[in-house]
Structure 1
């Protein structure tokens, strides 16, 4: 597998465009379109929040139908959540605008929105935006990058990646883009993400691979404990790589799944490190656990604790906060088996050893925790499973950003 330049336009047959539709923002692009002329099999995962945005329900119907997908239209600024019938009408109007412009069925057009909850989308601006973008679709790397920037809200950087790998003697490409900075908490994939690939694969296997990979990538990040109403991950595969269609879980399926895992984990970590107001990527790796479920629970509890996040921000080696978060996680373990370390590019330091706190060099601990990526490493000594979760520190700026988000 090789990392290459680009994102959603890296795979054969995918084009993208973006525009300033002035949906909410007045000084930046705020709509993106990703399109494949060739029909795609599609897979998706969505928020587990009971309050689901209109676009989530629209996309769930498309994925469940088994019909081909040709396009996805994304807007930033307004989430189209808690918007009643008018919200569903906006989804349909957007999809039908694509049908008119690009001559594909509107039922093959997914839509996604991100931004303020409870505001109605200006349908006239959405339709006009689709008209503009349909005329500027481009398969260039730059067009994909521009699309990744258009879907940002409070994100400080765009997030994209692409890889190539061999399947059945053919060169296959998988690319993706995502957005997410706040309202990020493990429970599906708390953000928007769009993956494109030219692999040929049966829809059921594509869905199984996506659902499986999400568990240890997007489901293992948290910024603020809030599961969004709009969480959507869509993966489109148009088959243009020319490989023999993957119809079983053999070597080719595992190769694809490995690439998919790499791309999703990369994008997930980019979102965690770009958490609202964040200055550090906060990683928790828990090893030698009795079960995979407990490993996931423990690692997510560590990075999700506000006290732990504040300690990471303050570079305070207060290991009791991390142990406390493990203790209330719901996983059963014996604290007398636990070893806890702080790690970063600046070094490694054990601070707790099988039930007993260790004397340690505070200056060394401070040096380790001053790095821009800090890991809490925990050895449970109770089994063979492990899991890693990602989050960020909790800073003053998180409150500032969210105090005036709507205005």
Structure 2
């Protein structure tokens, strides 16, 4: 059975040494749409980024500086406009944003990451951006978690307090994402902050590993954005001895980070455009880990499965046909399927079940699909949502 260590979430606030602010500068009609995150000292930085070949200018530039320097001290972010497919002007605007922020904070421009999300193909109104930077302050408010939202209906935030080497530490993460979610690296935008001291190569390896089993295992609609990015900043202000893989508290940090990333991934999947249900697929006893994860993600990504779950239809045929369409290796004669703990398939054959009872269970907010392949020792998980009329309505009018 798949288990992940659970931690107690605390009220969301920033780890030691982090500050932020957000403003409405007119990119959206009324809501917050612009803000920054700042660390009192340069923070060790790690990132994962979109694999879409049309990588947006801010994502490309941030990837470049994090890959080279492994340090960030500030992130400037906006919603409503993606600054993607904007050519040389988009690249120039990113450099301008870095310069404006660096001048105000009196730091090096190469310590400034840039993130944008919203409509593709539109340039940023730099007069509003410039004025917005002048209005930003260093505060303890967490309004930035709202300013990055687009079609999201709620914030995605997680905070966990824990101890490393007897020192009090915190990880706080926030994200946005509701549609165009089928990441092959991360989510739409996610930012993880911590006051733990950790070596840059250790942090990057951890983020890359854990992204594969969290953000890479969610899907809403099968589309990968041009702006996908996850950044993790660790400023070391908790005062612990720098963590490496050999440190005795490495596993504690890894477990907490895994918990935070998974919680954020689940919150994104649950808030898919028009969604009414979070869907979790657990694949057990596969021949290898990639196959287990591929099958799980295929199930939550199937439009037929998603539509059936929206209609509370326990049509397990859609699940097993999706499994059969994957390139994974398994014995097609030994599959068991459970829908919310109700066994509906045993050894790849139908079993008698109360259709009305199972259908009623599909009306709840969280649906669990468990597929036991009985063919190995590896498990995989993925998260998605149902496919509703509202999803079509939202995306039929997104740019208008």
TM-score, with normalisation over the residues of structure 1?
Answer: 0.95
Report the CA distance between 1:126 and its aligned residue.
Answer: 1.1
* Matching of residue 148 in structure 1 with residue 145 in structure 2: yes
* Distance in 1 of aligned mates of 2:246 and 2:292: 26
2:9 is matched with which residue? 3
CA contact (8 A) 1:2 1:165 kept: no
In 1, Cα distance between equivalents of 2:244 and 2:299: 39
- Provide the rounded CA distance (Å) in 2 between the counterparts of 1:162 and 1:94: 29
Task: Select which of 394, 398, 403 maps to 2:387.
Answer: 394
- 8 Å CA contact 2:339–2:370 kept in 1: the answer is yes
Residue 166 (str. 1) matches residue 163 (str. 2): yes
- State the match for 1:127 in structure 2: 130
Partner of 1:44: 47
Tell me, in whole angstroms, the C-alpha distance in 1 between the residues paired with 2:31 and 2:82. 17
Number of the residue aligned with 2:63: 60
Cα deviation for residue 250 of structure 1 reads 3.3
Find the counterpart in structure 1 of residue 343 from structure 2: 350
Matched position secondary structure for 2:79: strand
Map residues 319-338 of structure 1 onto 2, 5 A cutoff: 319-338=316-335
* Distance across 2 between alignment mates of 1:26 and 1:105: 33
Within 5 A, what are the aligned runs for 1:16-55? 16-23=20-27, 25-55=28-58
Deviations 1:217-259 (A, max 9, x none): 1000000000110000000111000000113333322111111
CA deviation after TM superposition for structure 1 residue 110, in Å: 0.3
Whether contact under 8 Å (2:313, 2:359) holds in the other structure is yes
Contact 2:19–2:139, Cα closer than 8 Å, also in 1: yes
**SS state at 2:249 partner:** helix
RMSD: 1.0
Corresponding residue SS for 2:114: strand
Uncovered stretches (5+) of structure 1, i.e. residues with no partner: none
In structure 1, which of residues 93, 106, 109 is the aligned counterpart of residue 109 of structure 2? 106
Shift in Å, 1:190: 2.8
Is the CA contact (8 Å cut-off) linking 1:41 and 1:236 kept in structure 2? yes
Corresponding residue for 2:368?
A: 375
Alpha carbons 2:287, 2:329 under 8 Å: kept:
no
Matched, 1:177 2:174: yes
Q: Counterpart in 2 of 1:137?
A: 138
Contact 2:183 2:225 in 1 (8 A): no
* 2:301 counterpart (300, 304, 311): 304
* Deviation (angstroms), 1:63: 0.9
Q: Secondary structure at the match of 1:229?
A: coil
Instruction: In structure 2, list runs of 5 or more residues that go unmatched.
Output: 1-6
Asked whether the 8 Å contact 1:183–1:190 carries over to 2, the reply is no
Alpha-carbon distance, 1:355 to partner: 2.0
Q: Distance in 2 between matches of 1:311 and 1:250?
A: 48
Contact persistence 1:67–1:108 (CA under 8 A): no
**C-alpha displacement of 1:67:** 4.9
- Give the deviation of 1:129 after TM superposition: 1.1
Contact 2:70 / 2:200 at 8 angstroms: preserved in 1? Answer: no
Q: How does 1:249-264 map to 2 (within 5 A)?
A: 249-264=246-261
**Equivalent residue number for residue 242 of structure 1:** 239
Do structure 1's residue 315 and structure 2's residue 321 form an aligned pair?
Answer: no
Cα 1:332/1:67, change in 2 over 3 Å: closer
Deviation at 1:2, TM superposition (A): 3.9
- Shift in Å, 1:3: 2.1
* Distance (whole Å) between structure 1 residues aligned to residue 8 and residue 385 of structure 2: 28
**Aligned equivalent of 2:208:** 211
- For the 8 Å contact 2:50–2:183, the answer to whether it is kept is no
Give a deviation string over 1:32-87, Cα, whole Å, max 9, x none.
Answer: 21001211010000011111000111111111112531100110000011000111
Instruction: Tell me, yes or no, if the aligned pair for 1:70 and 1:108 is still in contact at 8 Å.
Output: yes
Q: CA contact under 8 A between 2:46 and 2:70: conserved in structure 1?
A: no
Residues 67 and 358 of structure 1: CA distance in aligned 2, closer, same or farther (over 3 Å): closer
Distance 1:318 1:107, change over 3 A: same
Matched, 1:13 2:17: yes
Instruction: Please point out which of 71, 82, 86 is paired with 1:83.
Output: 86
